[in-house]
């Protein structure tokens, strides 16, 4: 079992729809959870981070965390073609800077 798992996609959604990206992790000691966006040929860019169970909203983005189910998700409302990218879920254990990444989900938003 991989430490952080994501569906590789591609996930295709029409412009204006909600895109739902999911991630599961295996280490119950994980404390911090991150979503990075990576455009082709570019470096990862932080979108959201979440530490506590529940939802965290930032503009069109909502991160959801359920530690009991070891599950974290990212919702993108009103998806735009510019949101087309690979979304990387990353998990960090307590008091370490070691990020464990999933392989990413490729999102395609079509007009």
> Which positions lie near another protein, rule CB under 8 A?
32, 34, 36, 42-46, 49, 88, 90, 92, 94-104
- Write down the least CB distance from residue 108 to another protein, Å: 18
Least distance to another protein, CB of residue 38, Å? 9
Looking at the Cβ atoms of 44 and 109, the one nearer to another protein is 44
Question: Nearest distance from residue 35's CB to another protein, in Å?
Answer: 12
CB of 24 or CB of 79, closer to another protein: 24
Which C-beta is closer to another protein: that of 18 or that of 46?
A: 46
Which burial class, exposed, middle or buried, applies to 7 when counting CB atoms under 10 A from its CB (0-12, 13-18, 19+)? middle
């Amino acid at each position: 079992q991989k430490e952080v798992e994501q569906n590789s996609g591609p996930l295709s959604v029409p412009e204006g729809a909600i895109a739902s990206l999911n991630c599961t992790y295996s280490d119950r000691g994980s404390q911090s959870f991150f979503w990075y966006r990576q455009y082709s040929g570019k470096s990862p860019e932080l979108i959201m981070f979440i530490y506590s169970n529940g939802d965290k909203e930032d503009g069109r983005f909502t991160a959801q965390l359920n530690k009991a189910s070891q599950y974290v998700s990212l919702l993108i409302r009103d998806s735009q073609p510019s949101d087309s990218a690979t979304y990387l879920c990353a998990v960090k254990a307590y008091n370490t800077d070691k990020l464990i990444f999933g392989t990413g989900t490729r999102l395609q938003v079509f007009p």
